[in-house]
Chain A
């Protein structure tokens, strides 16, 4: 049965560079809050958007915000000029952000991420300081408890012997 790690593995195998952000990054850093979507940040140039969709073809990606449109294919004209790519696939929801508001574009995240292994799948994950900065910038009510928790975790990790 295919599931989320297979989606990450497929992106890696296709040499798509990305950084895991959002709720999954928060869980990796110790958040107890559960969100049921996978958010990543990646370059969304037309060329890269085509590569992403090509590598996800077997998982039948669809435009999440336009569910009545046919599945997304690499020749879709809608892959031009995307700011974000909100997809629903056979393996679940995948939100691909072209940049992180208040932090920067994907290119700015290379040295603001850590390398972790989701089982046998190695991925870059947004580092804790940058995740906190992104959530603080977003300023949404729903982020406030998560932000408070992440700041608590950061303080705890800074304590000697943590």
Chain B
């Protein structure tokens, strides 16, 4: 009976799957590992383009580059 009850439980879709420390998003790692190196690089470069857009948005909002000066280009 207990097994049947367990089977009828809806799958947990809103709980993050992490390692025991709670620090690592296990699904994100598994997804990345499922990609080829080329796919990972494509994903990375696309994301970095968005990061540049987010940085530009911050510069526009603050009227300056808010990054610590030693790290800003």
Contact surface of A with B, Cβ cutoff 8 Å: 3-5, 24, 27-32, 34, 36-37, 63-67, 69, 77-78, 82-86, 88, 92-93, 114, 116-119, 125, 140-142, 149, 152-153, 156-157, 162
Are A27 and B49 in touch, CB under 8 angstroms? Answer: no
Q: Which residue of B14, B48, B62, B64 contacts A82 across the interface (Cβ within 8 Å)?
A: B14
- Within the assembled complex, what's the spacing in Å between the Cα atoms of A61 and B46? 19
For A31, what are the chain B residues with a Cβ–Cβ distance below 8 Å? 67
**Interface SS of chain B:** helix
- Within the assembled complex, what's the spacing in Å between the Cα atoms of A118 and B28? 24
Give chain A nearest CB distance to B12 CB in angstroms. Answer: 7
For A85, what are the chain B residues with a Cβ–Cβ distance below 8 Å? 13-14
For B20, what are the chain A residues with a Cβ–Cβ distance below 8 Å? none
Chain A to chain B: the 4 pairs with minimum beta-carbon distance, closest first:
A30-B66, A116-B57, A28-B58, A63-B13
Are A93 and B60 in touch, CB under 8 angstroms? Answer: no
For A78, what are the chain B residues with a Cβ–Cβ distance below 8 Å? 10-11, 13
| Chain B: CB-nearest residue to A3 | B46
Q: Which residue of B15, B27, B44, B71 contacts A36 across the interface (Cβ within 8 Å)?
A: B44
For A28, what are the chain B residues with a Cβ–Cβ distance below 8 Å? 54-55, 57-58, 61
Q: Mark B18-44, 1 if CB is under 8 A from A, else 0.
A: 000111000110010000000000011
Q: Which residue of A67, A88, A142, A157 contacts B66 across the interface (Cβ within 8 Å)?
A: A157
Are B12 and A65 in touch, CB under 8 angstroms? Answer: yes
Give chain B nearest CB distance to A157 CB in angstroms. Answer: 6
Are A117 and B60 in touch, CB under 8 angstroms? Answer: yes
Q: Given that A65-B13, A85-B14, A140-B23 are known contacts, is A30 also in contact with B65, CB under 8 Å in the complex?
A: yes
- Within the assembled complex, what's the spacing in Å between the Cα atoms of A83 and B58? 29
| Chain A: CB-nearest residue to B31 | A88
